[in-house]
Amino acid sequence: MAPICIKTVLISESVDPRCRAILEGNGIRVTEKQSMKKEELIAEIKDYDGLVVRSATKVTVDVINAADNLKIIGRAGTGVDNVDVDAATKKGVIVMNTPSGNTISAAELTCALLMSLSRNVPQATMSMKQGNWDRKKFMGAELYGKVLGIVGLGRIGKEVATRMQAFGMRTIGYDPITPPEVSASWGVEQMSLEQLWPQCDYITVHTPLMPSTVGLLNDETFAKCKKGVKVVNCARGGIIDEEALLRALESGQCGGAGLDVFIEEPPKNRSLVNHPNVISCPHLGASTKEAQARCGEDIALQIVDMVNGKNLVGAVNAQVLAGTFSQESQQLIRLGEAVGAVLHSCNASRKPFSHAHIITQGSGNSMKSCGGYFTSAVLVGLLNHEPGRSANLINVQSLAKESGIAVNQSHCASEEAGVCKVEVVADGRSYKASGSVQGGVPVLLELSGSVFRQPVSLTGNLLFLQASADPQLLPSVAGALASEGVQIESFSAPVDHTGDVWYCVGVSSLLQDLNVLKPLVKNVAQLSI
Specify the 3-state DSSP secondary structure of 93. Answer: coil
Average confidence score pLDDT of the chain: 92
Close Cβ partners of 61 (under 8 Å, ≥ 6 residues apart) = 84, 87
Question: Is 123 in the same domain as 263?
Answer: yes
Arithmetic mean of pLDDT, 145-172? 98
Question: Is 513 in the same domain as 499?
Answer: yes
Question: Is 237 in the same domain as 254?
Answer: yes
- 81 vs 476, higher pLDDT: 476
Among the three residues 420, 435, 453, which one is the final residue of a domain in this structure?
453
Arithmetic mean of pLDDT, 421-428? 93
Residue 261 belongs to a domain = yes
Close Cβ partners of 396 (under 8 Å, ≥ 6 residues apart) = 376, 379, 380, 383
What's the burial of 475, exposed, middle or buried (CB within 10 Å: 0-12/13-18/19+)? Answer: exposed
Question: Is 502 in the same domain as 441?
Answer: no
Tens digit of each residue's pLDDT (9 = 90 or more) over 2-31: 568 999 999 999 999 999 999 999 999 999
369: pLDDT strictly greater than 70 = no
pLDDT for 180 equals 96
Name which of 50-59, 360-369, 469-478, 487-496 the model is least confident about.
360-369
Residue 51 belongs to a domain = yes
Residue 269 belongs to a domain = yes
Question: Is 500 in the same domain as 386?
Answer: no
CB-based contact 292:300 (threshold 8 Å) = no
Name which of 259-273, 298-312, 379-393 the model is least confident about.
379-393
pLDDT for 415 equals 61
- CA–CA–CA angle 225, 226, 230 (5° rounding): 85
Among the three residues 422, 453, 484, which one is the final residue of a domain in this structure?
453
Tens digit of each residue's pLDDT (9 = 90 or more) over 36-69: 999 999 999 998 999 999 988 999 999 999 998 9
CB-based contact 318:94 (threshold 8 Å) = yes
CB-based contact 340:374 (threshold 8 Å) = no
Among the three residues 396, 423, 453, which one is the final residue of a domain in this structure?
453
Question: Is 107 in the same domain as 43?
Answer: no
pLDDT-derived band at 371 (thresholds 50, 70, 90) equals low
Arithmetic mean of pLDDT, 295-319? 91
Distance of CA 234 to the CA centre of its chain: 24
pLDDT for 10 equals 98
Question: Is 266 in the same domain as 304?
Answer: no
pLDDT for 1 equals 47
Number of domains in the chain: 4
Close Cβ partners of 119 (under 8 Å, ≥ 6 residues apart) = 138, 140, 141
Specify the 3-state DSSP secondary structure of 333. Answer: helix
Arithmetic mean of pLDDT, 78-87? 91
Closest Cα partner for 433 from 525, 513, 499?
525
What is the model's pTM? 0.76
Question: Is 119 in the same domain as 200?
Answer: yes
Question: Is 144 in the same domain as 232?
Answer: yes
513-518 own/partner pairs: CB under 8 Å, 24+ apart: 513/484, 516/480, 516/483, 516/484, 517/463, 517/465, 517/477, 517/480, 517/481
Distance of CA 420 to the CA centre of its chain: 26
Residue 1 belongs to a domain = no
485: pLDDT strictly greater than 50 = yes
Query: Range of 437's domain?
Result: 323-453
Arithmetic mean of pLDDT, 406-412? 89
pLDDT for 310 equals 85
**In DSSP terms, which residues pair with 32 in a beta bridge?**
11
Question: Is 157 in the same domain as 212?
Answer: yes
Specify the 3-state DSSP secondary structure of 354. Answer: strand
Residue 3 belongs to a domain = no
Question: Taking the CB of residue 514, how many other CB atoms lie within 10 A of it?
Answer: 13
CB-based contact 457:450 (threshold 8 Å) = no
Q: What is the CATH number of the domain that holds 67?
A: 3.40.50.720
Question: Is 208 in the same domain as 143?
Answer: yes
Residues identified as active-site: 236, 265, 283
Close Cβ partners of 487 (under 8 Å, ≥ 6 residues apart) = 481, 507, 508
C-alpha span between 393 and 380 (Å, rounded): 7
Burial 395-430 (b: 16+ CB within 10 A, else e): bbbebbeebebebeeebeeeeeebbbbbbbbbeeee
Residue 2 belongs to a domain = no
282: pLDDT strictly greater than 90 = yes
pLDDT for 183 equals 97
Arithmetic mean of pLDDT, 213-219? 97
pLDDT for 200 equals 98
pLDDT-derived band at 412 (thresholds 50, 70, 90) equals confident
> What is the DSSP secondary-structure string of 409-425?
EEEE--SSTT-EEEEEE
Question: Is 54 in the same domain as 135?
Answer: no
Tens digit of each residue's pLDDT (9 = 90 or more) over 288-306: 999 999 999 999 999 999 9
pLDDT-derived band at 383 (thresholds 50, 70, 90) equals very high
Question: Furthest-apart CA pair in the chain: how many Å?
Answer: 108
Residue 44 belongs to a domain = yes
pLDDT for 195 equals 98
